[in-house]
C-alpha cells in the first residue's frame, strides 16, 4: 500500500476552473491505448452471462421503467446520480461539464453547476454535502450546498496529478474510496488506473493521508464502487472494453488483512459490456447498470443485455429490467421510502420502483 501526504485546500464555487471537453469515450480509448495488452486476464472465465437471463432466481424486485426527464444539450453523456435530503436528484452531463438537478415533485430540470471539470460520479455525505469526481481536473471535491464553497479533497498522489476520478463510496466511519482511470502504465510519468482510500473523519498535521489500495495489474479499469450495508465488503466494477481484459465485479472483504490481494469475483459480464455504475439495497443486493443495445468500436458483445441487473451478495442474478437506449451508466436510490431507483441512461434520467429500499446511507441527514 502506498501513501502520500495530501494538503486540505479549498476553492470558490463562484470562480470555477474551465475544464477541457473530455468525454467518457475519450477516457476509454485513451486508457485502452496506454494499457495495451500487457494486463493479465482474470483467471475467472465468463460463465455465459447471456444464459443467466433465462433462469433468473427471483422476480418482482424491479417495477416499470419511467422516463423522468430528458437532457437536451450539444453533447450528452449522463452519469453519477445522487439524491439529496429533499429528494432532489443531482446527476452529471460529462462532456459539457454540467451538474444537473431534477425535482421529481415539481418536474423541473435545472443546472446546479457549470464548469464542473467534467464531473462524473456524485455522492452526498451524511451532512448533505456533495462529493464529486471531477475527472477533467483529476480531483475529488466536496461542495457545501448552503454556501457553494468547494473544498478539494484529493488531487495528487506521489507528486503526480490523479488520472481521472470516476466514482466513489463513503463508509459510515468517514473512509472514502474512489476509482480513477485512465491512468499511465509508467509510474515514473503518472498515476495508473487505481482505487484510492481517504479518511475524511481525521486529519493529521499537514493534511489527510491518501492511500492507493489497488492499481493495475491488480485492477485493470475500475469503474463503479459501492460498500455493503454493514460496510464490511467493498464492491468494484472492472469495465475494460478491450479483448482479454476484465469485465466483472470484485468483492473485497475489508475485515480481512489480505482483502486487497484476494478479491472474490461476484459476477462476470464477459464477453458483453460490463457494469458501469451501481448502487446497493438494504439487503445487500447490487443494482448494476450494464449492457448495450448496439455494439460500439470495442470487443464488447451484446451478451450483456442493456439495463439494471440485480445481483445478490452471492453473485446470483436475481432480476433484470431493460432500459430503452444506450448508454446506461449509473443508478442510485431516492424517494422518501428509498424505493425509487434513479438511472442515468443516454439522454434520459429514468426511475424504477423497487421492492427493497436502498441502504440507509443513501438518505443524507440534512
Which helix (H) or strand (E) covers residue 4, if one does? Answer: strand 2-6
pLDDT score of 178 more than 60? yes
Number of domains comprising the chain: 1
Nearest CA to 160 out of 178, 176, 142, 184 is that of 184
Is position 6 within any domain? yes
List the 222-227 sheet strands across, edge first.
222-227, 233-239, 247-253, 264-268
CA distance 179 to 133: 9
Q: What is the pLDDT of residue 23?
A: 40
The burial class, CB within 10 Å (0-12 / 13-18 / 19+), for 211 is: middle
- Please give the share of the chain, as a percent, with pLDDT higher than 70: 86
Is position 41 within any domain? no
Is position 262 within any domain? yes
Q: Name 323's Cβ contacts closer than 8 Å, sequence gap at least 6.
A: 65, 306, 307, 308, 343, 345, 350
Q: What pLDDT, in 10s, does the model give residues 206-244?
A: 678 899 999 988 999 999 999 999 999 999 999 999 999
CB-CB contact of 340 with 331 (8 Å): no
Is position 264 within any domain? yes
Q: How many CB atoms lie within 10 A of CB 70?
A: 12
pLDDT score of 35 more than 60? no
SS3 annotation, 251-311: EEECCCCCCCCCCEEEEECCCECCEEEEEEECCCCEEEEECCCCCCCCCCECCCCCEEEEE
Q: Residue 186 sits in which domain range?
A: 2-36+47-362
Q: What pLDDT, in 10s, does the model give residues 237-272?
A: 999 999 999 999 999 999 999 999 999 999 999 999
Q: What pLDDT, in 10s, does the model give residues 296-306?
A: 999 999 999 99
CB-CB contact of 237 with 274 (8 Å): yes
Is position 299 within any domain? yes
Is position 261 within any domain? yes
Is position 336 within any domain? yes
User: Is 0.85 surpassed by the pTM of this model?
Assistant: yes
pLDDT score of 17 more than 60? no
Residue 8 maps to which CATH number?
2.120.10.30
Is position 42 within any domain? no
Amino acid at each position: 500500500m502506498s501513501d502520500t501526504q495530501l494538503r486540505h485546500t479549498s476553492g470558490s464555487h463562484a470562480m470555477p476552473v474551465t475544464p477541457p471537453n473530455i468525454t467518457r469515450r475519450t477516457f476509454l480509448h485513451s486508457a485502452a491505448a496506454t494499457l495495451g495488452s500487457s494486463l493479465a486476464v482474470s483467471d475467472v472465465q465468463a460463465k455465459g452471462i447471456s444464459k443467466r437471463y433465462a433462469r433468473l432466481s427471483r422476480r418482482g424486485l424491479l417495477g416499470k421503467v419511467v422516463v423522468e426527464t430528458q437532457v437536451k444539450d450539444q453533447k450528452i453523456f449522463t452519469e453519477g446520480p445522487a439524491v439529496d435530503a429533499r429528494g432532489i436528484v443531482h446527476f452529471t452531463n460529462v462532456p459539457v461539464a454540467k451538474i444537473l438537478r431534477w425535482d421529481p415533485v415539481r418536474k423541473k430540470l435545472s443546472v446546479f453547476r457549470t464548469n464542473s471539470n467534467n464531473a462524473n460520479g456524485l455522492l452526498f455525505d451524511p451532512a448533505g454535502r456533495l462529493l464529486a469526481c471531477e475527472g477533467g481536473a483529476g480531483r475529488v471535491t466536496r461542495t457545501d450546498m448552503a454556501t457553494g464553497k468547494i473544498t478539494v479533497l484529493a488531487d495528487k498522489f506521489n507528486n503526480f496529478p490523479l488520472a481521472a476520478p470516476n466514482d466513489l463510496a463513503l463508509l459510515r466511519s468517514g473512509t472514502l474510496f474512489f476509482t480513477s482511470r485512465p491512468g499511465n502504465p509508467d509510474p515514473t510519468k503518472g498515476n495508473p488506473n487505481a482505487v484510492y482510500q481517504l479518511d475524511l473523519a481525521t486529519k493529521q498535521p499537514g493534511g489527510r493521508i491518501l492511500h492507493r489500495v489497488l492499481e493495475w495489474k491488480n485492477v485493470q479499469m475500475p469503474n463503479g464502487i459501492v460498500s455493503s450495508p454493514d460496510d464490511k465488503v467493498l464492491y468494484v466494477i472492472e469495465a475494460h472494453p478491450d479483448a482479454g481484459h476484465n469485465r466483472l465485479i470484485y468483492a473485497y472483504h475489508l475485515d480481512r488483512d489480505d482483502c486487497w490481494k484476494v478479491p472474490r469475483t461476484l459476477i462476470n459480464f464477459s464477453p458483453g459490456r460490463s457494469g458501469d455504475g451501481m448502487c446497493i439495497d438494504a439487503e445487500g443486493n447490487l443494482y448494476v447498470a450494464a449492457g448495450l443495445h448496439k455494439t460500439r468500436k470495442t470487443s464488447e458483445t451484446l451478451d450483456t443485455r442493456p439495463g439494471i441487473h440485480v445481483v445478490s451478495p452471492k453473485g446470483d442474478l436475481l432480476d433484470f429490467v431493460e432500459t430503452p437506449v444506450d448508454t446506461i451508466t449509473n443508478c442510485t436510490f431516492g424517494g422518501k421510502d428509498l424505493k425509487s431507483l434513479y438511472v442515468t441512461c443516454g439522454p434520459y434520467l429514468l426511475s424504477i420502483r423497487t421492492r427493497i429500499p436502498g441502504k440507509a446511507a443513501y438518505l443524507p441527514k440534512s
